[in-house]
Structure 1
């Protein structure tokens, strides 16, 4: 089990768990840059990542 670095929720991350299958997050749009190591890096749960993606997509200039 992984722990979300934003909210603390537990969830499955295929990459951290060593699964040969791709993680659920790879199916989402790549709209949020990956944090640098000195930032609050780590996996986010599905709810937090989707919320961050929604916020990023609605803030993009058209």
Structure 2
């Protein structure tokens, strides 16, 4: 069991907990950069909320 470094909630992180399957977070799009002060993993609720609050800027035309 992992502990979210943002809110303190317990959650399963396959990478940190030594699971054989990919972690749940690998299914999320790499939409935003995680802040440098975000040491450790965030729970699904915190990571999804962060992604929703920081929308990816539109791509510039090529």
Whether TM-score is above 0.5 comes out as yes
- Give the unaligned 5+ runs of structure 1: none
- Of residues 50, 53, 57, the one that matches 1:60 is 57
- Give the unaligned 5+ runs of structure 2: none
Tell me the equivalent position of 1:4: 4
Higher Rg: 2
Deviations 1:9-53 (A, max 9, x none): 0000000011110000000010122444xx231100000000011
What is the alpha-carbon distance in structure 2 between the residues aligned to residue 28 and residue 7 of structure 1? 19
Tell me the equivalent position of 2:14: 14
Aligned residue pairs total 59
Write out the 4+ residue segments of structure 1 that deviate beyond 3 Å after TM superposition.
Answer: none
Tell me the equivalent position of 1:28: 28
What is the alpha-carbon distance in structure 2 between the residues aligned to residue 45 and residue 6 of structure 1? 8
TM superposition score normalised by structure 1: 0.81
Backbone CA RMSD of aligned residues: 1.8
